């Protein structure tokens, strides 16, 4: 083998190595948070903090990246409250962890952990197509269900371990447009319990769709 060919092979191998290093570096995103349990949180058995929190977030980094969650950064201490772990039964845990925040809303990603490992919790809710006869006067002509959406990312979400309800609320325009959803954890499944949608800009909270599921 000539010297020229050897040099070309080495340069090619070096290029591949650098490429693989760049890809690895790009995907090695840190999602750690500076959340250490303080005295006021001692009674909150659900709080996930410190090394346990950061280890969990790095384990689910692919999911956090998939949903464009914010990586390591300086964050307000109150966002630490969006990291929790609740027992659902003797083998299953429900986990909430911070994803992102804006001026008014916060988002979190939800998971279940059991004997098969940790999995994103894909909660289901219906989607609707709104047709307005007069969009300026906000007169609705039809509301058509178009299917279901599944997502592990919820907005302004919380879990009540007493009622076993997961609650989600998204809104804009000073709360004039909003969607409120609740899921009930029952017999190891997450069932849609309540849905309320206000899609009319009239300055008040007046939902046009309200469903209560058994």
pTM to 2 decimal places: 0.80
pLDDT of residue 7: 41
Q: Where are the alpha helices (DSSP H) in the chain?
A: 3-27, 50-59, 61-66
**Which residues are within 8 A (CB) of 91 and not within 5 positions of it... i.e. 6 or more apart?**
114, 115
Whose tokens are 């307000």? That residue is 76
Q: How confident is the model at residue 139 (pLDDT cuts 50, 70, 90)?
A: confident
In this prediction, residue 164 carries a pLDDT of 95
| Lowest mean pLDDT segment, chosen from 115-124, 182-191, 204-213 | 204-213
The CA distance from 12 to 131, in Å, is 58
Q: Domain ranges for the chain, please list them.
A: 1-30, 44-212
Q: pLDDT at position 102, please?
A: 83
Confidence (pLDDT) at 159: 97
Residue 10 binned pLDDT confidence (cut-offs 50, 70, 90)? very low
> CB of 120 within 8 A of CB of 63?
yes
Name the strand (E) or helix (H) holding 101.
strand 93-101
Report pLDDT digits (tens) over 54-79.
999 999 999 999 999 998 767 778 89
- Residue bearing the bigger pLDDT, 133 or 114: 114
What's the token pair of residue 10?
Answer: 């080495």
Judged against a pLDDT cut of 90, whether residue 183 lies above it is answered with: yes
- Which pLDDT does position 28 carry in this prediction? 54
Lowest mean pLDDT among 17-21, 28-32, 46-50, 94-98: 17-21
Instruction: Summarize the confidence of residues 137-143 as an average pLDDT.
Output: 84
CA distance to 16, 81, 85, 181, per residue, from 66 (Å): 26, 22, 21, 23
End-to-end CA separation in angstroms for the chain = 76
Look at residue 132 and tell me whether its pLDDT is greater than 90.
Answer: no
What pLDDT score was predicted for residue 5? Answer: 43
Q: Are 86 and 161 in contact (CB under 8 A)?
A: yes
């Amino acid at each position: 083998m000539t010297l020229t060919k050897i040099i070309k092979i080495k340069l090619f191998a070096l290029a591949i190595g650098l490429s693989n290093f760049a890809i690895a570096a790009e995907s090695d995103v840190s999602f750690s948070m500076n959340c250490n349990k303080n005295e006021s949180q001692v009674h909150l058995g659900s709080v996930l903090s410190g090394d346990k929190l950061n280890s969990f977030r790095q384990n689910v980094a692919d999911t956090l990246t998939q949903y464009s969650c914010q990586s390591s950064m300086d964050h307000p201490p109150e966002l630490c409250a969006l990291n929790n772990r609740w027992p659902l039964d003797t083998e299953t845990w429900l986990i909430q962890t911070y994803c992102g925040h804006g001026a008014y809303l916060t988002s979190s990603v939800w998971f279940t952990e059991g004997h098969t490992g940790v999995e994103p919790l894909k909660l289901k809710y219906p989607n609707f197509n709104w047709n307005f006869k007069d969009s300026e006067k906000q007169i609705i002509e039809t509301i058509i269900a178009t299917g279901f959406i599944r997502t592990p990312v919820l907005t302004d979400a919380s879990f009540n371990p007493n009622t076993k309800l997961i609650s989600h609320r998204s809104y804009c325009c000073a709360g004039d447009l909003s969607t409120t959803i609740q899921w009930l954890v029952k017999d190891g499944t997450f069932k849609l319990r309540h849905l309320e949608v206000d899609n009319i800009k009239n300055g008040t909270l007046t939902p046009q769709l309200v469903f209560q599921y058994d």
